[in-house]
Amino acid sequence: MGEVDPVFVQDLEHRPKLSVTEGEDIPLIDLSSIINSDENDVDVVEKLVKEIGSACREWGFFQVINHGVPLETRLKLETASRNFFALPLEEKRKVRRDELSATGYYDTELTKNVRDWKEVFDLVVEEPAVVPASPDPQDNNLTQWFNKWPQHPPEIREAWEEYGKEMQKLGLKLMGLIARSLGLGENRFNEYFKNQTSFIRLNHYPPCPSPHLALGVGRHKDSGAITVLAQDDVGGLQVKRKTDGVWIQVKPTPNAYIVNVGDCVQVWSNDKYESVEHRVMVNSEKERFSIPFAMRPSHYTMMEPLKELINDQNPPKFKPFSWGKFFTNKRLSNFKKLNVENLQIYHFRIQE
- pLDDT tens digits for range 246-296: 999 999 999 999 999 999 999 999 999 999 999 999 888 999 999 999 999
- Go through 274-310 and write b for each residue having 16 or more CB atoms within 10 A of its CB, e for each that does not: bbbbbbbbbbeeeebbbbbbbbbbbbebebbbbeebe
Between 222 and 11, where is the model more confident? 222
- Go through 16-54 and write b for each residue having 16 or more CB atoms within 10 A of its CB, e for each that does not: eeeeeeeeebbbebebeebeeeeeeeeeeeeebbebbbe
Q: What's domain 6-348's superfamily in CATH?
A: B-lactam Antibiotic, Isopenicillin N Synthase; Chain (2.60.120.330)
> Do residues 241 and 23 touch, judged by C-beta distance below 8 A?
no
Predicted confidence band of residue 3 (pLDDT cuts 50, 70, 90) = very low
The partner residues of 61 in beta bridges, in order of sequence, read 260
Tell me the CA distances in angstroms from 177 to 23, 67, 315, one per residue in order. Answer: 28, 13, 24
Q: Is the pLDDT of residue 113 over 70?
A: no
> Do residues 178 and 226 touch, judged by C-beta distance below 8 A?
yes
Question: Helix, strand, coil % (nearest 5) of the chain?
Answer: 30, 20, 50
Mean pLDDT for the stretch of residues 29-33: 94
- The 8-class DSSP code of residue 15 comes to S
The radius of gyration of the chain from alpha carbons, rounded to an integer in Å, stands at 20
The partner residues of 199 in beta bridges, in order of sequence, read 124, 294
**Distance (Å, whole) CA 67 – CA 4:** 39
Tell me the CA distances in angstroms from 211 to 107, 113, 216, 237, one per residue in order. Answer: 18, 19, 9, 14
Q: What is the pLDDT of residues 122-139, one digit of tens each?
A: 999 999 999 999 888 899
Predicted confidence band of residue 108 (pLDDT cuts 50, 70, 90) = confident
Average pLDDT, the chain: 89
**Distance (Å, whole) CA 105 – CA 103:** 7
SS3 142: strand
Q: Give the amino acid at 196.
A: Q
Tell me the CA distances in angstroms from 193 to 163, 299, 300, one per residue in order. Answer: 17, 10, 10
Q: Is the pLDDT of residue 23 over 70?
A: no
Out of 13-27, 102-116, 148-162, 198-212, the most confident range is 148-162
Output the pLDDT for position 21.
60
Percent of the chain whose predicted confidence (pLDDT) is above 90: 73
